[in-house]
Amino acid sequence: PVIDKINCPPLKDFKVPAEYYSTLFHEMVHSTGHKSRLARPGITSHNVAFGDPVYSKEELIAEMGAAMLCGVAGIFNHTIENSASYIASWMKAIKKDHKLVLQASAQAQKAA
């Protein structure tokens, strides 16, 4: 966030192009949280650690936004399954805050 740059492994590092674009979309959605854009706490807050609620929400936003962008781009099948699996890994945070999914999906839609 400090240098406002997206990092993504090169296309050649992925088994199929769809996985590259899904990953790139995920990182692009994170970039919309920059203070000059949507200013989401998961990007703008300092000292956010893996597993923190604000980190969990930002990851949900990025993954949901990436899934939305994959749909727009016509990328389906295993990338959507990967997204669902990734989102499922944050179920602990989701169970603690029932509004989290709705808030994250609204932010993901703005980002997309």
User: What's this model's pTM, rounded to 2 decimal places?
Assistant: 0.85
Torsion (CA) 19, 20, 26, 32 in degrees, nearest 10? -160
Beta carbons within 10 angstroms of residue 8's beta carbon = 15
What is the structure's pLDDT at 85? 72
40-87 residue pLDDT tens: 999 999 888 877 778 888 988 998 999 899 999 998 766 667 667 777
18-38 residue pLDDT tens: 999 999 999 999 999 999 999
- Domains of the chain, residue spans: 16-111
Q: Can you tell me the distance from the alpha carbon of 51 to that of 91, in angstroms, rounded to the nearest whole number?
A: 11
